Amino acid sequence: MDTFSIVKPTRVSWEAFKDFRLQALWDEPQAFSSSYNVEKNAPGKFWQDRLKNSKEGKRSWMVFAKYGEKLVGMVGAYQTPDDSKNKEANMVAMFVAKDARRKGVAKLLTTSLFEELQNAQLQKVKTCVNIDQLAALHLYKALGFAKVSEHSLLFGDGKTHTVYLMEKLLT
């Protein structure tokens, strides 16, 4: 029987990454600040570079979940130059396929991501969440993230939503 496994970007083809990211943007347009229409025509190099950068683990990370050979989850993180100075990273692109939810996949993904960020000597992880995404909000609270501020942001569904900027110490 197949089980969930957490895999590094080296075990994911850029085509599979592209398909899964587009699935995320299609299924949950209100969860991401980018959109299906913006990313659907991006060239192969765009997806190859995103994976390549995260393989190097310098200022960019990605962790994937598979069920058998099928991608069912992903999460990423990146640093701006200021984040780098402050030993912080931004967690982004969190998505678990609908038929794999409530099985602990997001917890596995974040555990692996935080290990990588700690190995890179980072001290804090930040994220931004649409407060209507209740599953994500519950998840982040359960992981120890705390709200630091509230803003408005345009999402992939073309609407402006209230977001919480949240932070968690990694130490």
CB atoms within 10 A of CB 127: 21
126 neighbors 166 (Cβ within 8 angstroms)? yes
Separation CA 74–CA 158 (nearest Å)? 23
For residue 59, state whether it binds ligand COA (rule: CB under 6 A). no
Binding residues among 82-121 for ligand COA as defined by CB under 6 A: 94-96, 101-107
Binding residues among 129-158 for ligand COA as defined by CB under 6 A: 129, 133-136, 138-139, 142
Residue type, 153: L
- Residue whose entry in the numeric block shows the structure tokens 């393989």: 55
Separation CA 127–CA 91 (nearest Å)? 5
**Cβ at position 121, least distance to ligand COA in Å:** 25
| End-to-end Cα separation, the chain, in angstroms | 37
Q: Tell me which stretch binds ligand COA (CB under 6 A): 47-55, 113-121, 127-135, 154-162.
A: 127-135
Q: Of the candidates 106, 70, 102, which has an alpha carbon nearest to the alpha carbon of residue 91? A: 106
**Cβ at position 43, least distance to ligand COA in Å:** 25
Considering the complex, state which of residue 48 and residue 67 has its C-beta at the smaller distance from ligand COA: 67
**Cβ at position 142, least distance to ligand COA in Å:** 4
Residue from 20, 21, 25, 28 in contact with ligand COA (CB under 6 A):
28
Give the DSSP H/E element, type plus range, for residue 151. Answer: strand 146-154
Tokens for 95, please give them. 């998505």
**Cβ at position 128, least distance to ligand COA in Å:** 7
Binding-site residue total for ligand COA (CB under 6 A)? 20
Instruction: Provide the binding-site residues for ligand COA, judged by CB under 6 A.
Output: 28, 31, 94-96, 101-107, 129, 133-136, 138-139, 142
